[in-house]
Structures are given as C-alpha cells and as structure tokens.
Amino acid sequence: MSGKNDRGDKRRSVRATEGFGDAPFSDLRLDGLPEVSNPPVNAVKVKKEERIGMGERLEVRREKSGRGGKTVTTIAGFPARVNAPMRASMLKKIKTRLGTGGTWDKDCMELQGDKRTEVVPWLSALGFKPVLAGG
C-alpha cells in the first residue's frame, strides 16, 4: 500500500552534474563587450545653471517628535534669494529622485522618511554646504 509520503520514482537527484563545478560562469567569454565604468553610488550630476547654492550652510536633520511617530527629514537655512518657483522646482526634483513625498513648511523643506544620506550629496551638487544637525 502506498503511503501519503511515498513518492516512488518521482524523486530527482540533486547532485551536481559533471562539468558544472563551483564556478558556473567561468566558461563565459567577455571578448567584444564594452568596458563599463560605474559611477559612485552617491554621484549626483547637476547642470551648471542649476547650481543655486553659493556655499550657504543648510541644516539637514531627522525629526520624529510631534509627528505621530513618523520620521521626517528637514532641511533648514535656505537663503532668501531662493524664491518660491526655485523652491518648488527643487522640491519636485528631490521628491522624484528619492521616490518620496515632501513639502515646504515656511522656510524649511520636509521630506518623508530618513533621507539624510541621499539629500546631502544632492545639496552639495547644488552648491550648498549641507551639515547634519541634531542627533
């Protein structure tokens, strides 16, 4: 009588086949493939006319207090010459780049989540001097 766990001849061998070895891609040839130079992970390219910062110090901090347990990245210290259209453009670009939401609260940019490590290189590329503030 066949039991529930009796598989009979349906079992397959899981032993390595000959010729496969430890390095399955060792036989692949790279002849004719172009060389790829990988840019650094945090590299940010910004057009020269988009460099609106002139070395101004911006404070980038992570806040959680008074926000219902949600983490928010805030960027404060933008100069007065950064007008509303420039701010809207900056916010849209960073939200698209990070795939997150955000808004302006008076003179402070707020982004949803802890995005400090992604925001600092972007602000540096814009010509600002971002400083991680707070704890």
| pLDDT, mean of residues 73-86 | 91
Task: Provide the number of structural domains found in the chain.
Answer: 1
> How many angstroms separate the CA atoms of 51 and 18, rounded?
59
Residue 57, pLDDT > 90, answer: yes
Please report the pLDDT score of residue 4 as a whole number: 62
Give the domain CATH number at 59: 3.30.780.10
- Residue 118 belongs to domain spanning: 54-132
Give me the sign of the Cα torsion angle 42, 45, 48, 49: negative
Residue 100 and residue 54 in contact, taking contact as beta carbons nearer than 8 Å: no
The Cα-based distances of 83 to 4, 39, 61, 77, 91 in angstroms read 74, 32, 22, 13, 12
Q: Is 19 within the bounds of a domain? A: no
The pLDDT of 78-83, averaged and rounded, is 88
| pLDDT confidence of residue 25 | 74
**pLDDT at 8 (0 to 100):** 63
Q: Is 95 helix (H, G, I), strand (E, B) or coil?
A: helix
**Is 45 within a domain?**
no
Does the pTM surpass 0.95? The reply is no
